[in-house]
Every structure is written in C-alpha cells, then in structure tokens.
Chain A
Amino acid sequence: MTLRLTQIARILIGIWMTGVVLAMFLWIPQYEGLGNAGRIMILHVPTAWVSVLAFAVSAWYSAMYLWRGQAVDDDRALAAAECGMLFTILATVTGAIFSQVVWGVYWNWDPRQTSIFVLMLIYAALFALRAAIEPKEQQRKLSAVFSLFAFVTVPFLIFVAPRMADSTLHPNCAFAPNSSCDGITLRQGSIGLLGDRKVQLLALEEQGDTVVARVQVSEPGLTSEAVLEPTFDLTQGESVVEPTFPGLRYRLVVQSVDPANGTVLLNIHAPGTGILANQRTLVTFLASLGGFTALFFWIFSIRTSLLGVAWLLEQREVAHL
C-alpha cells in the first residue's frame, strides 16, 4: 500500500515539476530589468525554503528521538538533514549564479547568504559528527543532541546577520509586503552610503512639478564616479526617472522629497522588487514552492525507509555472527 502510494506520488511530482519547469521558461513573461536570469527565482526561492524546512524537520525528529528513543525517528532526522544539505547547495548555487549575472558578484555576505552558509556548516558538522562516532546508539543520541543545540542558536543569526553587511541585494520588499528597505535621507552636499556605494547629493532642482536630484555615486575605493539624476514627481508623489547604478542592474530611486528641509530619501531598488506582481509568475512560483515541498517530503520518506532497511540488515548480520 505504502509502495503504491510512493509510486503514485513519484509520477505526480514528476509531472508537476515538469509543468513548473516548462512554465518557468515558456509561460511566464521576462521580468523587465532582469532578463532571462530572473527565471531562476522560480527555483531559487523554493529550494531555499526547503533547506530551512528540512532543518526544522530534522530538529523536530531529533527531539522526538530523544523523547521516545525509537530508531525510526533518528532515521527521519538524518534523512531530513541529508535532503536539507542537498537543497542548501542548490539554493546557494542558483543564488550565486544569479548574483553573478545580475550584480556582477558571486558572493556578498548578504544576511541571507550568511544564514544559509552557517546552515550549510551546521549540516556538514552533523555529518562529520555521525561519521566520527562508531556505536550506533551513541551516534544517534549525540547527533540528536547536536542537532537540537544547533537549532537553538540559529535564531540569533536572524538578529546578527543584518549587521554583517550594510546592504542586501535580496529584494526583501518583493517577498514580504511589510518589510522596509530603509534607504537614506540626504540634504544638499551631504554624503551617505547605499549598499557599498558612496552617494553624495550634489544639488536638488525643482523643474515645475518634478524634482531632479543630482547624485554623485562613487565606486567602492573611489575608483570611479558618476552622476545620476533620478527624478520625483511632486504632484503624483512618485519617482519618475530611475537610473541604474553604473555597471550594476539595480536602480537609484527617490522615494520621497521634503522641500521644506531640502532633503530627499534615496533608496536602491534591486531588480526583482515586485517580481511577483505578475499573475503568471505568481502562479508558477507558488506551484514551484508546492512542488519542491512535496519533492522534499517524497525524498525524505524514501530515504527514511532506506535507512530503516539498512539498519535491519545490519542487525541481521550481527545476529548471524
């Protein structure tokens, strides 16, 4: 019965994921500013989600193992950790490729990059620990303890990681509607930092209803400079011209103007902000999210039963001896 179910699940997931991949390349529109590289988001975000889910599942079954002491719970924890490692690698690699294509850097120590890197280290440590302990019972118990202990410290990363880099290239505003991308407020002549670029507001000119901000942007290390002129429509209350940073795909945006004080709020719009506004993209994205989650649980259940069989065989061998 279970065998039949996994067979059916395999076929269903196969068809589903094929549909997602086809839709990803053929059905959804190209996102303006990202080109075809933007399509990788359909894979990147769900794999990242699954790697976090797997970590939580692994910790849950570790706790269950310590609670009930049944070998199957430890097998589940190990299976989840193995899937998690797989998906963590997928998420990191797809993200790095995208980052290189769009922003010109493979790695930036974004908060999310930091978190997933630490997650990868934890998974690797877990496997190293399992490999280093011989008696099966001890191996199960100690790795369950480590898994739980690691799970407890991970939330601190969420507070700490944003301190590591001033900027994030991940478009936070796209996926969490209420999150804020802060930006900086500048008055004429003052300087500030957007990402790793130094920006200086040279002048603020009102031309009728639109305000033109002349902003000098300097590369890190002041190797080169450029003057960008984003504009803002005072009557509509929205930005009009959004020039891209030289050599990068993200744009400089005037978010608001305070004419009384002569200040402007400047911000970065990463490409991808609002990527899910398109209906087709949203549907494909959600389908991919569901598909990857199902895929995870499918691999997870197969791997768990394999581990169980391996354990039974091992015990039988011991009994023969």
Chain B
Amino acid sequence: MMTDKTSIQLLAIGYHPEIMQVVHRLINSHDGWQGTIAASMDEAAQLLQRNAYDGILLCAGVTEADEAQVRNIAAGTRVIRHYGGGSGLLENEIRMAFDI
C-alpha cells in the first residue's frame, strides 16, 4: 500500500555491531528516516513494548526463529529482511516495503 509518510521510524535488529553501525548511519542519512538499533532480541522486545515503529529491519545474525518472535511481538508492523549488510540494497528494501 502506498504511504504518504514523510517520516519513517525503523527498528533495526542485528547482532554484528560493526555492520549495525553502518546500517544505522545509512538509515539516518536519508531525510525523514530515523533508525534505532537493537543488538539482541531482548533489547528489541523491550523497545517494541515501549515504542511504535513503522517498520522493523532484520539484519545480520537474525534467525528465522527470531523473525517469528518479532512478528509475534509486533503483529501488524512491516517486517523487512535486509540482505547485504549495510549495502546498496538497504534503501531499495525500505522504499519497496513502504512503496515510496
């Protein structure tokens, strides 16, 4: 579904600290996009209980079991699997998910 949001809040979950630094930088370098990083599923669960996000990015190290848990905790929130590790695919994946 097309979105007219000019601001997108993203929770990026990933277990590779150096890659997640790059992911964080890339998200926040885009006008209107703001990223929060969770380095573990526990941290992600806490953040999801406290905050609303437009989308959740699953990054390095996140397993299919973790993904199922995320979808259970945050039912209704867009879940995006990021491939490539802070690569040229990240912006594409977010734009595709939000149809922008």
- The answer to whether A and B come from one shared complex is no
The chain A residues found within 8 Å of chain B, CB to CB, are none
Q: Which residues of B contact A (CB under 8 A)?
A: none
